Structure 1
Amino acid sequence: MRSKILTLRKAVVGFYQGRHFVSRPGHCDAHMNELPVPCKPWEPWYSDKQSFYNKHFALGLIWCLFSAIMAIYTDSIYLNWGPPAQPSAPSDMVEECDDTDT
């Protein structure tokens, strides 16, 4: 039984090594000649992209500030920047605390 398994293994390994896989050359380190070289000036394209990104950033910043200001203006949130506008409870409604231990 073992000899049949080994024979079958050799046949399978030989099939995969011989027919389907082509040996590749060894590892080759990258060098400067493989870097892409622009075929036209890159500065106009870069300036256009940067202006698009800057406009997008400015609009996002304006929208964020507008949203925060409107949330504060409409009293949707309260940031505790100062004392509350309402006065505290009258002194006759506040009970005195007795700290003496009995």
Structure 2
Amino acid sequence: MLTRQLPRLVQQTVRRYGHDSHFKPATMDELPVPRGSWQAHYDANQRRFNTALIVGIAFTVGTFIVAKTSGLVYLNYSPPKSID
């Protein structure tokens, strides 16, 4: 009895991924169809991206100016004033 069960215990198990009969391979017909002018869409995106860039730069410069004028930031571009 042990000699019959030993090969089953020693053998390597293999994953068997079953074939799903409901699987349908994708086709080119399922891809979205482009509509409208790509140039108009590109220009609209660039306006939006450039606006975000300008707002970000303005916010950064404004924050830097407020921090510099309030004395929170010292840039060390000249020797510090003497403590004496």
* Fold similarity call, TM over 0.5: yes
Q: Which runs of 5+ in 2 are unaligned?
A: 1-19
* Identical aligned residues as a percent: 29
Bigger relative contact order (CA 8 A; separation at least 6): 2
Asked if 1:34 corresponds to 2:30, the answer is yes
Q: TM-score, normalised by structure 1?
A: 0.49
Paired residues in the alignment total: 65
Q: Which runs of 5+ in 1 are unaligned?
A: 1-23, 90-102
Structure 1 counterpart of 2:10 = none
Q: TM-score, normalised by structure 2?
A: 0.57
Partner deviation per Cα, 1:38-66 (whole Å, 9 max, x = no partner): 23223212311221221121111122122
| CA distance in 1 between partners of 2:74 and 2:32 (Å) | 55
Higher alpha-carbon Rg: 1
Q: Which amino acid aligns with 1:56?
A: A
| CA distance in 2 between partners of 1:43 and 1:81 (Å) | 47
| CA distance in 2 between partners of 1:48 and 1:81 (Å) | 42
Please give the residue correspondences for 1:1-102 in structure 2 after superposition, counting only pairs within 5 Å.
26-85=22-81, 87-89=82-84
